Structure 1
């Protein structure tokens, strides 16, 4: 059991080591659960333990959690990656190769909101490329429901909005 649970942690570290951007909880879960490696609850426990051990760190907003590899996590996976079978490493490599563009785009789009000093809500919408903002837009709205709607719609319509802004500003 302990050896198997360690494997789940190594898979997560290996995935994060193979990309140059963070992965969401949903992205990690999609791979591990679709392959049938473990259950959702064991996966969440593995993520929690890796975070507590400071091998990964999490960035949480209202609508998702992103996981980043720490320096200690990177050193650990370099030392222990051979404890992951070649076939599992190949599965991970293939998954990341096939989905890299979609995975990267998904985490490059960020939106979050918070209550501001005017007792309204500020919604920060971003599109990042190589961790630098292509667009960084903050809007103030009177209600939390409107803030949540903007966060949701930003995920769906950010490319359209960015193109519209560029066409109208240039």
Structure 2
């Protein structure tokens, strides 16, 4: 299978360097793949090959954080991009430039909101939910539930509505509770 001319190969690698440089923060393979495939810049297999080659050549760096892999452009990658950025067609640059703010927002959101679960036994799952703002952890919640379905639902709800759930938890925990209501609750038990 031919990967194209030398010019096409170089152009595709420069496109990848340009994308990662424009994001201006470590970016996951998922986000790179989404942008490349949605815009039909290249196919999935060529993309993965080029990412590996750019890492092997020292133009990109692959790092791990929280069990996920992220790509960053290296100083050598930036220099190379400066020399060859004119290889990227204007239309492709424009698409990338217009899409980057959304990707950057998604990356920030993903790094600030996390929810995951782990099985402890057949009928016990530990759900961990976290919400951060900048470098400050607002809430780090760990709860145990009895079913995998409940664990998945909690994770999904947390990822889709973190601010609302956080506000509800804070409101519930800070609400004044008088002794008569506590005594009434005990009598009902």
TM-score by length of 2: 0.62
The 3-state SS of whatever aligns with 1:36 is coil
CA contact (8 A) 2:61 2:73 kept: yes
Which of 139, 142, 153 is the aligned partner of 1:139?
142
Which of 9, 27, 41 is the aligned partner of 1:5?
9
1:30 maps to 2:30: no
Which residue of the partner structure matches residue 163 of structure 2?
159
The 3-state SS of whatever aligns with 2:71 is strand
Distance 1:158-1:70 versus aligned 2 partners, 3 A rule = farther
- Displacement after TM superposition at 1:42 (Å): 0.8
User: Mind listing any 5+ residue stretches in structure 1 that lack a counterpart?
Assistant: 116-120
Which residue of the partner structure matches residue 77 of structure 1?
81
1:59 maps to 2:51: no
Larger mean Cα displacement after TM superposition, 86-95 or 67-76: 67-76
Q: Distance in 2 between matches of 1:48 and 1:112?
A: 29
CA offsets 1:24-54 (integer angstroms, 9 cap, x no match): 2222112211221211111111122223333
Distance 1:168-1:37 versus aligned 2 partners, 3 A rule = same
User: Mind listing any 5+ residue stretches in structure 2 that lack a counterpart?
Assistant: 120-124, 175-189
**Structure with greater contact order relative to length (CA < 8 Å, sep ≥ 6):** 1
Q: Distance in 1 between matches of 2:158 and 2:57?
A: 34
Give me the CA root mean square deviation: 3.8
The 3-state SS of whatever aligns with 1:15 is helix
Which residue of the partner structure matches residue 118 of structure 1?
none
Distance 1:80-1:102 versus aligned 2 partners, 3 A rule = same
CA offsets 1:120-152 (integer angstroms, 9 cap, x no match): x9876544555x244462637699x69x84665
Higher radius of gyration, 1 or 2: 2
Q: Distance in 2 between matches of 1:66 and 1:25?
A: 7
